[in-house]
Amino acid sequence: MEQLQKIATPSTFTCPECQGTLWELREPQPQRFRCHTGHSFMARILGELQHEKAEDAIWAAVRALQEKEQLFASLAAKATAWLHPGAASEYTQKARQAREQAELLKRVLLA
């Protein structure tokens, strides 16, 4: 870490590989970043990796919301079969909300 402090200053970015703090190297060109474990990135590559990580996180959220929709739809069906209309209505609303949220995130990704 001491050697890194000699050649770089801490940035507000995190390493896409290990999530450690990235340090901006003091070299004038090209702009580069390095973490304490040794991962090193040119600014352009770092931007591409951050874009990929963000997109992966959003797709993971879409999948989680789709699973949530399926779960609450199943619970609504069971509540209906067991003659619990209040619970069925609540579960149906939660399933609808999860579906709408997933669709919104997909529109963001595909825009």
Q: Which amino acid is at 78?
A: K
Listed by start position, the domains of the chain span 2-47, 51-110
- Beta strands 32-35 and 21-25: pairing type? antiparallel
pLDDT over 90 at 45, yes or no: yes
**Cβ 31 vs Cβ 9: under 8 Å:** no
Structure pTM? 0.82
Query: Helix (H, G, I), strand (E, B), or coil: what is residue 36?
Result: coil
Cβ neighbours of residue 97 closer than 8 Å, sequence gap 6 or more = none
Summarised one tens digit per residue, pLDDT across range 89-104 is 999 999 999 999 999 9
Between CA 13 and CA 34 the distance in angstroms is 10
Six-digit token pair at 111?
A: 């825009």
